[in-house]
Amino acid sequence: MFSTESAAPHGERRAKARVGQYDPAALTRRERVVLAEMARGFDNPTIAEHLCLTRSTLSHYVSSIYAKLGVTTRVRAVLLARERGWTDPNAEWTAPKPGAE
């Protein structure tokens, strides 16, 4: 069975992001690059080839992106990235301030 928590240092547990919650600042540089490639319309095999990754590794990156952005589909991740201007992996990404939406 899948857990709703992920492992943290020293055996502690922390909850994954819930759907609708997102923390773009938590994305690693590589995850930002993957998300930008997704937003450009590339599929996983193409992104894996572009970034010299195995498909399995890329799949792990995509799953991590979904969890950190609080989404469950590629379409939602890409729409969120485009709406928020997160399609440039070199830009500083921040979540909007509460109440600013």
CA distance 62 to 77: 9
Per-residue pLDDT of 60-88, as tens digits, reads 999 999 999 999 999 999 998 888 888 88
pLDDT at 2 over 70: no
At the topology level, CATH places domain 19-84 in: Arc Repressor Mutant, subunit A (1.10.10)
Q: Which residues contact 36 (CB under 8 A, 6 or more apart)?
A: 81, 86, 87, 88, 89
Band of the pLDDT at 21, cuts 50, 70, 90? low
Band of the pLDDT at 1, cuts 50, 70, 90? very low
Which amino acid does the sequence have at 73? T
Per-residue pLDDT of 24-62, as tens digits, reads 678 898 999 999 999 999 999 999 999 999 999 999 999
10 Rama class: left (phi>0) / alpha (psi -120 to 50) / beta: left
